[in-house]
Structure 1
Amino acid sequence: MYKITEIVAAELNYLELESPDGQSKAKICLNQGGSLSKFVFETIQILADYNSACYLDTYASSILFPFANRIKNGEYTFNNLKYKFQCNEIDKNNALHGFVYNKPFDVIDRVTTQEYASVTLCYKDEGKTEGFPFKFSIELTYQLNKNGLILSIKALNNDKNPFPFSIGWHPYFYSKNLDNSALNFKSDTKYVYDNQQIISSTTELDIEMPFQLKGVKLDTGYPLKTNEIQFSTPKYNMNLRSTSKENFLQLYTPDRQNIVAIEPMTGATDNFNNKIGLQTLQPNETYHVKWSIAIEPCNTHTNQLIN
């Protein structure tokens, strides 16, 4: 039987999902935006073990809503009205990663069976945030199962007015040796950025797949041609799939060794302005997206990279 355990550590509240044999675990922090702070699959470390005290610097596994990545100068126009977020990326003068990443989430459901454990968390916003005067709620459902992990997100417009949005996720994946690891995804374009890390143009993607990560430094975005991203490491192969109609990828290598952020998104950076992948949620309308992570330890090798 899968199980769910409540944990309190460093004044933070967590729920830990655990497989019957105790070899797979997923730990979610309720106080830090419902973020996934730990993921171990069949004793293999999948996510980087960032300290929770560094969360506001790393945004590790944070849910990015109502926008993913950046908004230039925090400013945008929607339905002929101008809005301005507070800029939390001070050095570049941008609004960064939405504003639910540090909100407390409530537990509204939990399920344990022989096949999986799942928890559903909810945050309700009353439209008081500067730059986004719209009421909404967002639900996150994490499911740990024999294949890996599924994150399902549901956003509901509780306002009388429509609002723009995109959604992203910011997990940092750990490899025992990043120099001996590779990514695989289908794209023919990468974004070019200005000095604020805002899209200024596009250029042809000049890398071959699988994309070998030896000696590579990344902070780059790509529009994807499929809903699939794969990551191969010495210990495990990962397949990340999305249910979004449009899919975008942001890759980032932090200063720490053997870690890469693989960030699936439903829209590009600054899309409140450039409209790339931007969607509108009407009053009482609900948007769903699901990201599924399938993990296979390297001794099985049945999960092949995209050809």
Structure 2
Amino acid sequence: MENDFAYLDLKNGKESAKAKISLHEGGRLMELQFNGIYIIKDQPSSKYKDTFASSILFPFANRIKNGLYSFNGKEYQLNCNENGRNNALHGLVFDKKFEIIDRDLKYNSCAITLLYQEKEKSIGFPFLYNIYITYTLKDNNINVSVKIKNTDKNSFPFTLGWHPYFLSNDLYNSSLNFKSNEKIQFDKNLITSGFTTYNQEMPLQIKDNQLDDSYILKTNLIEFTTPLYHIKLDTNTAENFLQTYTPENRNTIAIEPMTGICDSFNNKKGLQTLHSNDEFTTQWNVTFYKKTIPNE
């Protein structure tokens, strides 16, 4: 125990891959390193309550305008938790306590499954559900599998996302690569207001760009390249969206895969319905490639 929070360390037998998970903060991935290189690591200048770093975003990713939405003819009011704006932000499980329900430890890999059971109906989302997170760590790969089970007697709307911040030793000389021909437009409160054609040449060089942008993806693959490493982030869902954000400290970048867009509970883009006793599962894979450094 540290600071009243429970942490879980994962590592493979060769200790070439290591991860750290916070059970009391939504089961989030706090640290991830391969071959001694950190690609995810909490920054001392940032607080989790402000960054939502590596949190699982459910039942909605990104924002809901004014926390208001309607579903099956009823209106609901979510808690508006975004500082400076009257929006509901990043779902309801980012601060929940998860429990360990399964382990699978091998020499070349290790896996852990976590569970949070929602047993109390909130005013803004009066539905019951279980959320399972399985982290499988291998020599140069981590798989994050999230399963949602509707344990309520009623159906509910949802989108799902992940909010990892990737660390770069030189973000100015790092880049993103993805396929998209449509970008999402935002109003002054960062709520979806429309769509525009996107024809940016790839890879997208970070340089001095201050990113806070969202895209409709044509494929399920996102690549991030730094002077030290290259990663491929892919998912198994058919419809994919990407949010990117560079915070002020400028040594990390949020690369957020999502199954729906900002304010999806109202604009319906990517929104899905999970019926009673049904399940939905998605996976995100991060594969690491160490770059060859001259005279290393």
TM-score bracket for this pair, using the shorter chain length: over 0.9
The structure-2 alpha-carbon separation of the partners of 1:39 and 1:52, relative to structure 1 and needing over 3 Å to count, comes to farther
Cα distance per residue 1:150-206 (max 9 Å; x no partner): 000000000010000000000000111011111000000111111110010111114
Conservation of the 8 A alpha-carbon contact between 2:214 and 2:241: yes
Letter of the 1:181 partner, please give it.
S
Letter of the 2:156 partner, please give it.
F
Cα distance per residue 1:251-300 (max 9 Å; x no partner): 00001122100000011110000000000000000000000000010129
Of 54, 57, 67, 2:50 maps to 57
The structure-2 alpha-carbon separation of the partners of 1:103 and 1:51, relative to structure 1 and needing over 3 Å to count, comes to farther
Question: Deviation at 1:127?
Answer: 4.0
- 4+ runs of 1 displaced by more than 3 Å? none
Letter of the 2:35 partner, please give it.
E
Question: Deviation at 1:53?
Answer: 7.8
Q: What is the match of residue 267 of structure 2?
A: 274
Gaps of 5+ in 1: 1-7, 301-307
Find the aligned partners of 1:25 and 1:280 in 2 and give their Cα distance: 36
Conservation of the 8 A alpha-carbon contact between 1:127 and 1:136: no
Q: What is the match of residue 12 of structure 2?
A: 19
Conservation of the 8 A alpha-carbon contact between 1:74 and 1:94: yes
Tell me whether 1:125 sits opposite 2:118 in the alignment: yes
Find the aligned partners of 2:242 and 2:218 in 1 and give their Cα distance: 11
Letter of the 1:108 partner, please give it.
I
Q: What is the match of residue 99 of structure 1?
A: 92
Question: Deviation at 1:210?
Answer: 0.4
Tell me whether 1:283 sits opposite 2:276 in the alignment: yes
How many residue pairs end up in the alignment?
A: 293
Q: What is the match of residue 46 of structure 1?
A: 39
Classify the secondary structure of the residue corresponding to 2:273. Answer: strand
Find the aligned partners of 2:87 and 2:123 in 1 and give their Cα distance: 14
Q: What is the match of residue 155 of structure 1?
A: 148
Matches within 5 A, 1:69-108: 69-108=62-101
TM-score under structure 1 length normalisation: 0.93
Find the aligned partners of 1:53 and 1:214 in 2 and give their Cα distance: 22
**Greater shift in the superposed pair: 45-54 or 208-217:** 45-54
Letter of the 2:101 partner, please give it.
I
Gaps of 5+ in 2: none
Of 135, 160, 185, 1:167 maps to 160
Matches within 5 A, 1:128-277: 128-277=121-270
Find the aligned partners of 2:34 and 2:193 in 1 and give their Cα distance: 39
Question: Deviation at 1:9?
Answer: 1.7
Q: What is the match of residue 28 of structure 2?
A: 35
Identity of aligned residues (%): 48
Find the aligned partners of 2:170 and 2:44 in 1 and give their Cα distance: 21
**What's the Cα RMSD here?**
1.3
